[in-house]
Amino acid sequence: MKRLETIADRSGERLDAAVARLAGISRSVAAKLIDSGSVRVGEVTPPRSHRVTEGARIVVDLPDEAPPPQPEDIPIPIVYSDRWIVVIAKPAGLVVHPAPGHPSGTVVNAILARAGATPLPGEAMRPGIVHRLDAGTSGLMIVATDEEAFVELRRMMAAREVSRTYLALVEGAPPPSGEIDAPIGRSPKHRKKMAVVAGGREARTSYRRVEALPETALVEVRPHTGRTHQIRVHFSAAGYPIVGDAVYGKNRKLAHALGLARPFLHAAKLAFAHPITREAIELEEALPPDLQVALEAARSRQGR
């Protein structure tokens, strides 16, 4: 870890812009450092939207440069592929890209092995990655294997032109349908967690109830934005946390009773126009065995 200490030389500048300029890094990298709690202004760790004052002392903890990821023979189900993109069914427990604590054994390592000598587009540590799933979330995920497709998919994601539908088992009895519109940012109490916070980034999630059970409900969820842990944070804040979520959930006994070792959250459907051919692509992935078993267990708790 390398520590950079500097003094703000402009008043009113956003913190992410100031850190990017003063540290000589991209604004997106600066924003990620701020969100992870690696940037302090004086003695506080403010959000990226914080406006600095001239003369403020800024401390940035820059991570050591990691070696580039290497190809690894990791089997991942391929749902769709062509010369431009690959859609995988990510297993639960598989991290998407290398990060501190997970230098290997990721989706990126597997995709590099599949690509062979063909270079992948994007950042060195996350080539081909245009969106992510949490490590504990299973399901459909798009990876770009071509530069033009990568750029277009990033644009489509930002423009919300890719429809993503999840299945989740939540605690309690949410209304038959609804929308959660609440900003998400880094938790002021727990810097490794996200939370609904004033001044956070716009976040919107809609859902419909598929099946009501005595203690839980199966819901179909559509996130309209792509914030970190968005679905998990929104349902927890609404009072219906994802069953099995050890970070944002409440009822660990229920998760244990259903045999869940991870959040009941599965990326079940993808619908989008192909970034190059514009062909309409609609894909669906059934619940994996562990979630299917948990759902049957939830159904069997009738009357308890």
What digits encode the pLDDT tens for the residues 265-294? 999 999 999 999 999 999 999 999 999 999
The four Cα atoms 153, 159, 164, 169 give a dihedral, to 10 degrees, of: 130
For residues 63-69, average pLDDT: 78
How far does CA 270 lie from the centroid of its chain?
15
What value does the mean pLDDT of the chain take?
93
* Cα–Cα dist 4/15, whole Å: 15
Active site residue 35: no
- Predicted model pTM: 0.80
Q: Do domains 78-159 and 164-268+286-299 have the same CATH topology?
A: yes
- Percent of the chain residues past pLDDT 90, beyond the cut: 77
For residues 214-227, average pLDDT: 95
Q: So what's the pLDDT on residue 16?
A: 93
Judged against a pLDDT cut of 70, whether residue 304 lies above it is answered with no
Its CATH class, for the domain covering 164-268+286-299, is alpha beta
Active-site residue (options: 35, 134, 245, 290): 134
CATH of 78-159, one of 3.40.1190.20, 3.40.50.10490, 3.40.50.970, 3.30.2350.10: 3.30.2350.10
The domain locations on the chain are 2-62, 78-159, 164-268+286-299
Least confident of 59-63, 151-155, 238-242: 59-63
Judged against a pLDDT cut of 90, whether residue 24 lies above it is answered with no
Q: So what's the pLDDT on residue 254?
A: 95
Read out DSSP for 251-273?
A: -HHHHHHTT-SS--EEEEEEEEE
CATH of domain 2-62: 3.10.290.10
- Percent of the chain residues past pLDDT 70, beyond the cut: 98
Strand 138-144 relative to strand 265-273: parallel, antiparallel, unpaired? parallel
Nearest CA-CA partner of 230 in 263, 259, 260:
263
Q: So what's the pLDDT on residue 100?
A: 67
For residues 7-27, average pLDDT: 89
Q: So what's the pLDDT on residue 2?
A: 83
- Burial of 229 from C-beta contacts in 10 A (0-12 / 13-18 / 19+): buried
How far does CA 273 lie from the centroid of its chain?
22
* Cα–Cα dist 94/58, whole Å: 35
Q: Is 266 left (phi over 0), alpha (psi -120 to 50) or beta?
A: beta
Give 24 or 262, the one with higher predicted confidence: 262
Judged against a pLDDT cut of 90, whether residue 214 lies above it is answered with no
119-178 pLDDT per residue, tens = 999 888 889 999 999 999 999 999 999 999 999 999 999 999 999 999 999 999 999 999
Give 75 or 117, the one with higher predicted confidence: 75
* Cα–Cα dist 49/1, whole Å: 24
Structure tokens at 173: 């009895």
Judged against a pLDDT cut of 80, whether residue 65 lies above it is answered with no
74-112 pLDDT per residue, tens = 999 999 999 999 999 999 999 998 876 678 899 999 999
